[in-house]
């Protein structure tokens, strides 16, 4: 399940918008300008089922997202969707992994408290007995140069 974001969870001044996610589900998004730096040396790991519902998260994911493990499990991965991310990026992600091909890109993710963090994400299809059964996403610390390029590029993709 995915819920609207709540003012009481926000840290700092926030803006509001409503994002269309998937299957005509929309979500009230509250977001701030506060960036959380990616922690050195850590990988954020999660697994989703074929519909993008989170089935596994590691500790680093819980720490940086601000959500509890229980809040993340059974939620769609789009719980992290930031309004500054163009939907074209996620269409490309799903089009790619649905073909059984890994996807890689730089993503601005939304925290529960309205802040954000940048990652370099790699998503691969998990193939068991020749069939895609789930997807694993591993995020690592991005190069600041690449992030700066994305900050310029992404607004042009809306």
> Which residues is 67 bridged to in the sheet?
none
Shortest spacing between CB 24 and another protein, in angstroms:
31
Residue 123 binds another protein, judged by CB under 8 A? yes
For another protein, the binding residues in 101-120 under the rule CB under 8 A are 102, 104, 120
Number of residues that bind another protein (CB under 8 A): 28
Given the rule CB under 8 A, which of 7-15, 24-32, 84-92, 123-131 is the region that contacts another protein? 123-131
Angle subtended at Cα 29 by Cα 35 and Cα 122, rounded to the nearest 5 degrees:
55
For another protein, the binding residues in 15-44 under the rule CB under 8 A are 38, 40-43
Contacts of 116 (CB under 8 A, 6+ apart): 31, 32, 34, 35, 36, 82, 84, 108, 109, 110
The count of C-alpha atoms lying within 13 angstroms of the C-alpha of 67, restricted to the half-sphere facing its C-beta, is 25
The Cα 38–Cα 34 span in angstroms is: 13
Give the pair of three-digit tokens for residue 53. Answer: 């519902």
30-42 b/e (C-beta count within 10 Å ≥ 16 → b) = bbbebebebeeeb
The Cα 82–Cα 152 span in angstroms is: 16
Find the binder of another protein among 3, 91, 99, 140 (CB under 8 A): 140
Given the rule CB under 8 A, which of 2-10, 23-31, 90-98, 144-152 is the region that contacts another protein? 144-152
For another protein, the binding residues in 57-76 under the rule CB under 8 A are 58-60
Given the rule CB under 8 A, which of 2-10, 70-78, 86-94, 139-147 is the region that contacts another protein? 139-147
Shortest spacing between CB 16 and another protein, in angstroms:
32
By CB under 8 A, name the binding residues for another protein. Answer: 38, 40-43, 45, 47, 58-60, 102, 104, 120, 122-124, 126, 128, 136-138, 140-146
């Amino acid at each position: 399940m995915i819920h609207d974001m709540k003012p009481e969870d926000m840290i700092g001044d926030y803006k509001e918008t409503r994002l269309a996610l998937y299957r005509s589900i929309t979500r009230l998004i509250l977001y701030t300008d506060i960036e959380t730096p990616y922690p050195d040396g850590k990988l954020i790991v999660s697994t989703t089922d074929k519909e993008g519902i989170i089935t596994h998260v590691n500790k680093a994911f819980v720490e940086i997202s601000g959500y509890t493990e229980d809040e993340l499990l059974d939620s769609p991965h789009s719980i992290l969707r930031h309004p500054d991310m163009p939907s074209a990026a996620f269409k490309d992600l799903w089009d790619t992994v649905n073909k059984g091909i890994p996807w890689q890109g730089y993503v601005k993710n939304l925290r529960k408290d309205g802040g954000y963090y940048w990652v370099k994400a790699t998503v691969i299809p998990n193939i068991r007995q020749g069939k895609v059964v789930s997807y694993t996403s591993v995020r690592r610390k991005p190069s600041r140069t690449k992030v700066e390029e994305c900050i310029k590029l992404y607004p042009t993709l809306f």
